[in-house]
Structure 1
Amino acid sequence: MDGFSIFDSIHIAWLISISLVLIISIYYFRYLSFKQQQLFQRSVFWLLLFLEIAKQIYLIGTAQYSYWSPPLHLCGFGIFIIGWHAYFPNRTTATILYALTLPGAAIALLFPGWTMDPVGGFLHIHSFVFHALLVVYVFVLIFAKQLHTAFRDVWRAALFLAITVPPIYMYNARFQTNFMFLNKPVRGTPLQWLYDAFGASGYLVSLAVVIFLLWIMLYLFPAIRKRRE
């Protein structure tokens, strides 16, 4: 079967299924003991790592491996940020998960870049399950009030981007790839609106502005709720 379209019946079915899994996971996680919660978090990390290794093996085995294959998207980095946080939680990992991994994975699920992959194929299923796990991991910690973030720590996410974006940009330029969507947007997504509005020269600047505005929104609502409480 061919690929799918954004918000068609296949896409919506996946989003509904992921939402149900998310709700069940949030409810389930709250009633686990501390050690069981740790096991849950570490199990998500190892499952993510297994899925990525399986993907790499699949691409090699089917002669599809290319410069596009390494996990150099923001969600690919999410594997290792989650692993770091699952074993050594700290303010840096919490901030990156909340400010980058969660919105990145959520936007990827809403506006997937794998619409051309055959429906029901390995890459199709892998992409939805992989990004769903990223969202589930962060959300269960948020609702369990175990992901402690503050706007004063957002510089940690900014520093992470400052370290990772330049080499990824150079990799893209060298091998004609588009990791982290730094060179061009995915068609039919909000990033395309930025590209159309500001052109290639203003795309990255407008993207940085949008990310900053997104951070304000992410931190503003919890701050208001906390102040009311």
Structure 2
Amino acid sequence: MNGFTIFDSVHLTWLIGICLFFIISLYFYHYISPKQQQLFQKMIFWLLLFLELAKQLYLVSTNQYSYWSPPLHLCGLGILIIGWHVYVPSRTSATLLFTLTLPGAAIALIFPGWTADAVGSFLHIHSFVFHALLIVFVLVLVRERQLQTDFKDCWRAVVFLALTVPIIYAYNAAFNTNFMFLNKPVENTPLQWLFDAFGASGYLVSLAGVIFVIWVVLYFVKGLKRD
């Protein structure tokens, strides 16, 4: 079977199913004990790690492994951030989860970059499940007010990006890849709109502006919930 297109029946079915998964997970997490909540967080982390390892083995075994295969997208780095927060939680890990992992995974689900993968294939299923798990990890923490971060903590995310983006950009330049979509946007997504509006020279600057706006909205909504 061929791939799918954004917002077609396949995509919408996945989104509806994932939303139901979120609702069930939020309800379940709310009514379990703190010890069980810790176990839930660890299970999500280890499941994400297992899924990524399975993907790497699949690519190797099917002779599809390439310079595009390492988990260097923002969502791939999310595994490390979640592991960090599960075992050595800090305000920095909380901020990275809220400002980068949550919106990054949400945007990936709404505007997936794996539409060419055959529907029902391992990579197709993996991509939807993987990103859904990233989001649900952050959502349950936000819902239970267990994610300690404020807008003033955004500098932590800026420092993280300042350290990682140049490395990813250099990797992209060396191997002609496009991790974090730094070199070019995904077609038929808001990233493409930015590229078309501001051109190649203004793409990254406009992207940084959009990220800032997303942070403002996220912390505004979080503040409303807290009040």
After TM superposition, the score normalised by the length of structure 2 is: 0.98
Q: Does 1:199 align with 2:208?
A: no
Map of 1:208 onto structure 2? 208
User: What is the alpha-carbon distance in structure 2 between the residues aligned to residue 49 and residue 211 of structure 1?
Assistant: 26
User: What is the alpha-carbon distance in structure 2 between the residues aligned to residue 156 and residue 81 of structure 1?
Assistant: 13
Deviation at 1:201, TM superposition (A): 0.7
Deviation at 1:199, TM superposition (A): 0.5
Map of 1:32 onto structure 2? 32
Deviation at 1:221, TM superposition (A): 2.6
Deviation at 1:192, TM superposition (A): 0.3
User: What is the alpha-carbon distance in structure 2 between the residues aligned to residue 224 and residue 31 of structure 1?
Assistant: 23
User: What is the alpha-carbon distance in structure 2 between the residues aligned to residue 162 and residue 171 of structure 1?
Assistant: 15
Map of 1:114 onto structure 2? 114
CA offset digits 1:84-129 (Å, max 9, x no partner): 1111111001000000000000000000000000000000000000
Deviation at 1:217, TM superposition (A): 1.1
The runs of 5 or more residues in structure 1 that have no matched partner are none
Q: Does 1:70 align with 2:78?
A: no
Question: How do 1:1-229 residues align onto structure 2 when only pairs under 5 Å count?
Answer: 1-226=1-226, 229=227
Deviation at 1:222, TM superposition (A): 2.5
User: What is the alpha-carbon distance in structure 2 between the residues aligned to residue 224 and residue 14 of structure 1?
Assistant: 29
In structure 1, what residue type is equivalent to 2:143?
Answer: F
3-state SS of 1:3 partner: coil
The runs of 5 or more residues in structure 2 that have no matched partner are none
User: What is the alpha-carbon distance in structure 2 between the residues aligned to residue 170 and residue 76 of structure 1?
Assistant: 17
3-state SS of 1:131 partner: helix
Deviates more, 1:17-26 or 1:141-150: 141-150
In structure 2, what residue type is equivalent to 1:209?
Answer: G
User: What is the alpha-carbon distance in structure 1 between the residues aligned to residue 107 and residue 87 of structure 2?
Assistant: 26
Deviates more, 1:79-88 or 1:66-75: 79-88
Moved segments of 4+, more than 3 Å: none
After TM superposition, the score normalised by the length of structure 1 is: 0.98
Identity over the aligned pairs, expressed in percent? 69
User: What is the alpha-carbon distance in structure 1 between the residues aligned to residue 83 and residue 33 of structure 2?
Assistant: 20
In structure 1, what residue type is equivalent to 2:205?
Answer: V
User: What is the alpha-carbon distance in structure 1 between the residues aligned to residue 86 and residue 17 of structure 2?
Assistant: 25
Deviation at 1:224, TM superposition (A): 4.3
User: What is the alpha-carbon distance in structure 2 between the residues aligned to residue 225 and residue 77 of structure 1?
Assistant: 28
CA offset digits 1:9-61 (Å, max 9, x no partner): 00000000000000000000011111100000000000000000000000000
In structure 1, what residue type is equivalent to 2:150?
Answer: A
User: What is the alpha-carbon distance in structure 1 between the residues aligned to residue 38 and residue 150 of structure 2?
Assistant: 23
User: What is the alpha-carbon distance in structure 2 between the residues aligned to residue 209 and residue 18 of structure 1?
Assistant: 29
